[in-house]
Amino acid sequence: MENNIDQAQRVARLLDLTSLQGNESQEDIRQLCAQCVGNFGHVAGLCLFPQFLSQAQQELKALGSPPIRLVTVANFPHGYLDISRAVQEIHQGLAAGAQEIDLVFPYGSFTAGAQDDVAHFLTTCRKACPVILKIILETGELRDPALIQAASELAIATGADFLKTSTGKSSVHATLTAARIMLETIAQSSRTVGFKASGGIRLVNEAVQYLALAEEILGKDWIGPHTFRFGASSLLQDILKTLDHGK
């Protein structure tokens, strides 16, 4: 069984350190990049709005270019059913150096019954995105387990590389109940699809619960940065506190 130190290091290596306020200063970005590398190794990714990616790329290069993925968002955070806007934002992210795009699922339209329109939206966005595409389902807004499962199935069918729980901007964030539905849908898929737990996860012991659930459903060997991520802004602080023996 892993001890607290091992658990913290494992979680850190699966983390997409995230800052999506929109008003970050150059010093904020510099500090975020510095936090990406530590005695745990390095985080998996750094998620920022496109306008901050160029500086982040330079800051990480100055740190020795650790293999940290640059991530940005599109159709964020409201998940509108606006294909041209979403595609434009995907292109902006790619032009800024994004290696992964986290795209918000049009959850309001899906809940209202516009499944065909949402499918067309996702298919079009997939074609516009040649890099890793994570679909943010916003499960706290979908609420109904049947809707979460249906949204998961549709996202996988239209080419998602990852299913992600939440934007972190809704009143309900990631939950283990929603995660179980998403992971079980992934397990039933014929494709290799990853999972990202995001929104409201601040403590290592909370993160470990999601790892345990993924192990139960898909096996311990399935878990790695290529298939499992945490999206968080404050989780790293508890990781560092744990690694420093609570100081």
Biggest CA-to-CA distance, the chain: 52
Which of the following is catalytic: 16, 161, 196, 238? 196
Cα separations in angstroms, 4 against 44, 201, 208, 224, 241: 20, 17, 10, 18, 11
| Encoded tokens for 70 | 């640059």
Tell me the C-alpha to C-alpha distance, in Å, between residue 245 and each of 9, 40, 96. 13, 13, 38
**196 is annotated as an active-site residue:** yes
Q: How far apart are the first and last CA of the chain?
A: 23
Query: Is 61 in the active site?
Result: no
CB 67 within 8 A of CB 36: no
Q: Using N-to-C axis directions, what is the helix angle for 145-157 and 115-128, rounded to 10°? A: 40
**Which residue among 16, 102, 161, 238 is the active-site one?**
102
Catalytic one of 16, 161, 164, 238: 164
Mutual orientation of helices 145-157 and 176-188 as an angle, nearest 10°?
Answer: 40
- Enumerate the active-site residues: 102, 164, 196
